Amino acid sequence: MFEHVLAVVPVRDLAVATDWYTRLVGRDPDNTPMPSLVEWQVVPGAWLQVFESAPAAGQTSVNLAVTDLDAARTELSGRGLEPAEVVGADKGVRLSSLRDPDGNTVTLIGGFRVAY
């Protein structure tokens, strides 16, 4: 039934946010379907969309599972971003969060395993 998942992040200034999310993802946006929206395909079928909406900016959380949390934190630090200290969770899951310029939260999740 469902084919794609789109995580939508509202921001005040699209140019500032595009720079920040470009550093987060590690590459330029894959698509700019309209002047107020940029997007990255982060894995097949999953997109991260950033759009200009000042009233909603700063109220969103996005979780991104990573293969190696420590390596991801090091890589992001090298891109000028500052992931928070790692916090442990249940079942070996580890978390580290960042805030974009508007205060939206992006949480990196290490040790995440999907059981079907």
Q: What is the mean pLDDT of each run of 10 residues along the chain (116 residues)?
A: 95 98 98 97 96 97 96 97 93 94 97 68
Give the model's pLDDT for residue 114. 63
Give the model's pLDDT for residue 90. 85
* d(C-alpha 69, C-alpha 110), whole Å: 5
* Contact call for residues 84 and 73 (beta carbons, < 8 A): no
Instruction: Find the DSSP H helices in 1-116.
Output: 14-25, 69-78
| Protein fold of 5-110 | 2,3-Dihydroxybiphenyl 1,2-Dioxygenase; domain 1 (3.10.180)
Terminal-to-terminal C-alpha distance of the chain: 17
* d(C-alpha 40, C-alpha 74), whole Å: 21
Give the model's pLDDT for residue 116. 47
Give the model's pLDDT for residue 115. 56
Give the model's pLDDT for residue 69. 96
